Chains A and B, each alone.
Chain A
Amino acid sequence: MNALNTNPATPWGTIREQFPILDQQVHGQPLIYFDNAATSQKPRAVIETLRHYYECDNSNVHRGMHELSARATVAFEAARARLARYLGAASEEEIIFTKGTTEAINLVANTWGPANLKAGDVILLTEMEHHSNLVPWQLLARRTGAKLRFVPINDDHELALEKLESLLTPEVKLFSFVHISNSLGTINPAAELCRRARERGIVTLVDAAQSAGHAPLNVAEIGCDFLALSGHKMCGPTGIGLLYGRSEILADLPPWEGGGEMILSVRYKESTWKPAPHRFEAGTPNIAGAIALGAAAEYLDQIGREAIFAHDRHLAGYAYEKMAAIPGIRLLGPPAGSTARSGVISFVLRDAHAHDVVTLADQRGLALRGGHHCTQPLMRKLGLASSARASFYFYNTEAEIDRMVEILSEIERFFR
């Protein structure tokens, strides 16, 4: 795709005004928010949805017999249907609300995992996984005797796909991988990876935390069995996310947490469960969060995810070229112009540690992230203790990138 293929008809300037938080000064300078991979900002439409819910409709769902409960239940289930549509799921029953990506992955590791894995089986991951798509599998491996195996990355910081064939052995029962790496910005070919796993009967899980709000995402086209995402990285509130599970696979899964909401009938010594998705939603859910996440999905689709994706990549391409001219900088991730580059750019300055860079950038109103980005094994492999990261979203501008490059140049000169 042409990186400049951003729709000129999209009113990006007006869209930026829909994010009240962006209009402020930090340390006396206009805020430049480039920490979108950590969490996105929220448009007025989402904030209004939360306010309206609490001011007008707040009630518990699914069991109340009164008007407010009916309204809350309708809105909650409508959000589930909206998100099913957002992901191209076959039915809203394939959408399980969770706290976020981490809980969604843990749900699979704690239900599908013990029911399907035995000692000697292999869980295939990649070397670029976030801790949230690594540690749950380590725990599961310890519990079941299964082993972990990793698809390596190459010098371009992309997956070494030529090695995949030899890794997909009969012992592999699950392939769980990140769609867009939060620390390298690499976009992995999710549909191809799922197709090759599926040909061997391997169950697939896609960690879509970084892609859900940034790129077109359709589970039917990707062909995955599970997909996990976090609402707060796609204009929604914190504390809400979801697990998509193909209906055939959810039908056989045992429950994870027990409690109210998830049961059909309870006796003192045994109970029966509801079908998915409610079987996996014990206790009062994050009702307001789910409804607001539905509003976020609606908001993003109104702008258009193709347009958002193109805009992200345009900004990243623009930034990459300008940042590359800073003396002593090392840019991580796929090379310039690669179709595997997203709107995330991690970098290292030769003479300045990432934390010093982030502290000084903050003094200029520029919000970056520094550290290992919850990918410690990857950083170790790259021989880095930490890196700084700029991650863009559709409300960011070229002018902000120009200012970032000025600030980084000032920091580089200071530490040289």
Chain B
Amino acid sequence: MNFDELYQELILDHSRRPRNNGEIEGEGIIHVHGDNPSCGDEINLHVRFGPEKVEEIRFTGHGCAISQASASMMTLKLKGKKHDEAAHLLRLFHDRVAPEASSSSEDDPGPMELGDLNVLGGVRKFPQRVKCAMLAWRAFEQALQEREAGTEGASPESQRRVSTEEAD
């Protein structure tokens, strides 16, 4: 295998220069801490939801190239999307990277709506790395749930946690 089958140039670029890297100032921000306990990857996702759309989304953290690139590309994709569109993209991305959800062949370019994020589809062949690609998205899923539960802004300092697995 050539290394770039999994690590395409776009992934390396996002992992070296993550976009939307940082925090969001102000009130009404939902913060979610996500981690993969067995490998130590961590992400802090910061989201400001408007009445209809994801108004602002940024992240901080550290981890492997896959987790960082996925987080970076996710923020580009989700910013400005309506809440239900964002939830739909979350499902599409999960189905793109999770081996059990994928019935598509290896050269399937993936759904158009995912755009650049389809380059992360290569992790399907690396079951131990799916959690890396999903880390930021699990954090976003948690943020969506909190928005729906109406907890945003109630306690700006409170951080929710999400783990993609049990610690070993």
CA distance in complex: A415, B132 (Å): 17
Task: With both chains docked as a complex, state the minimum distance between the C-beta of B122 and any C-beta of chain A, in angstroms.
Answer: 11
Let me know if B40 and A386 touch, CB within 8 A. Answer: yes
Assembled-state Cα–Cα distance A414/B7 (Å): 9
Set of chain B residues within 8 Å of A354, measured between Cβ atoms? 39, 64
Interface string of B1-40 (1 = CB under 8 A from A): 1011011000010000000000000000000000000111
B3 adjacent to A411 (CB under 8 Å): yes
Contact of B63 among A353, A363, A374 (CB under 8 A): A353
Q: State whether B6 touches A359 (Cβ < 8 A).
A: yes
Measured between C-beta atoms, what is the minimum distance from A188 to chain B in Å? Answer: 25
Bound CA–CA A410/B128 (angstroms): 22
Check if B91 is an interface residue, CB within 8 A of chain A.
Answer: no
Tell whether, in the assembled complex, residue A27 and residue B1 are in contact, meaning their CB atoms are under 8 Å apart.
yes
For residue A387, give the distance in angstroms from its CB to the closest CB of chain B: 10
**B129-A355 in contact (CB<8A):** yes
A354–B65 alpha-carbon span in the complex (Å): 10
Interface centre among B4, B39, B62, B168 (most CB of A within 10 A): B39
Interface size in chain B (residues, C-beta < 8 A) = 21
Contact A356 B64 (CB under 8 A): yes
Are A359 and B129 within 8 A (Cβ)? Answer: yes
**What are the residues of chain A within 8 A of B97 when measuring CB–CB?**
none
- A415 and B129 contact, CB distance less than 8 A: no
The answer to whether B64 and A355 touch across the interface, beta carbons within 8 angstroms, is yes
Residues in A with CB closer than 8 Å to B146 are: none
Q: Taking A27-B1, A363-B1 as contacts, is the C-beta distance between A372 and B40 under 8 angstroms?
A: yes
Contact in complex: B7, A356 (CB < 8 Å): yes
Q: How far is the CB of B1 from chain A (nearest CB, A)?
A: 5
Given the contacts A355-B64, A415-B12, A376 and B1 also touching, CB distance less than 8 Å = no
**Which chain B residues in 112-162 approach chain A with CB under 8 Å?**
126, 128-129, 132
**A370: which B residues are within 8 A, CB to CB?**
39
Contacts of A324 in B (CB 8 A): none
Q: How far, in whole Å, are A376 and B167 apart by their CA atoms in the complex? A: 11
**Cβ–Cβ contact B65 & A353, under 8 A:** yes
Q: Does B41 contact A (CB under 8 A)?
A: yes
- Tell me, rounded to whole Å, the shortest Cβ–Cβ distance linking A99 to chain B: 16
Measured in the bound complex, the distance between the Cα atoms of B39 and A386 in whole Å is 7
| Cα-based distance from A52 to B144 in the complex (angstroms) | 58
Judged by a CB distance under 8 angstroms, whether A222 is at the interface is: no
Question: Residue B47 at the A interface, CB < 8 A?
Answer: no
Beta-carbon nearest neighbor of B6 in chain A: A359
- A386-B65 Cα distance, complex, nearest whole Å: 13
In the complex, which residues of chain B have a beta carbon less than 8 angstroms from the beta carbon of A379?
Answer: 40
Q: Are B40 and A415 in contact (CB under 8 A)?
A: no
- A356–B66 CB distance below 8 A: yes
Are A371's CB and B1's CB within 8 A? no
Centre residue among B12, B40, B128 by max chain A CB count within 10 A: B40
B126 cross-chain contacts in A, Cβ below 8 A: 359
Closest Cβ neighbor of B40 among chain A residues: A385
Residues of B with C-beta under 8 A to A414: 3-4, 7
- When each residue 400-416 of chain A gets 1 if its CB lies under 8 Å from chain B and 0 otherwise, what string results? 00000000001100110
Task: Tell me the bound Cα distance from A360 to B5 in angstroms.
Answer: 11
- Chain A CB within 8 A of B42 CB: yes
Q: Which residues of B contact A371 (CB under 8 A)?
A: 38-40
Say whether A355 contacts B39, CB under 8 Å.
yes
Partner of A356, one of B62, B65, B168: B65
Among B4, B64, B132, max chain A CB count under 10 A is at B64
B43 to nearest A CB, angstroms? 12
Residues of A within 8 Å of B132, CB to CB, are: 355
Q: Which of A284-334 contact B (CB under 8 A)?
A: none
A416 to B66, CA, bound (A): 16
Evaluate whether A385 and B42 lie within 8 angstroms (CB atoms) in the complex, with A353-B63, A356-B7, A356-B65 already known: yes
Which residues from B are CB-within-8-Å of A352? Answer: 65
Residues of chain A contacted by B168 (CB below 8 angstroms): 374
Which B-chain residue is minimally distant from A353 (CB atoms)?
B64
* Interface members, chain A 30-54 (any B CB < 8 Å): none
The minimal Cβ–Cβ distance linking A295 to chain B, given in whole angstroms, is 29
Complex CA–CA separation, A352 to B63 (angstroms): 10
Interface contacts beyond A355-B132, A356-B7, A379-B40: sample of 4 additional A-B pairs, CB < 8 Å, sorted by A: A354-B64, A355-B64, A355-B129, A410-B3
Give A residues with C-beta under 8 Å from B.
27, 352-356, 359-360, 363, 370-372, 374, 376, 379, 385-386, 410-411, 414-415
A-B contact pairs, 29 of them (CB 8 A): A27-B1, A352-B65, A354-B39, A355-B39, A355-B66, A356-B7, A356-B65, A359-B6, A359-B126, A359-B128, A359-B129, A360-B7, A363-B1, A363-B3, A370-B39, A371-B38, A371-B40, A372-B39, A372-B40, A374-B168, A379-B40, A385-B40, A385-B63, A410-B3, A411-B3, A414-B3, A414-B7, A415-B12, A415-B65
10 closest cross-chain pairs (CB), A and B:
A353-B64, A355-B64, A385-B40, A363-B1, A386-B40, A356-B65, A414-B3, A371-B39, A372-B40, A356-B64
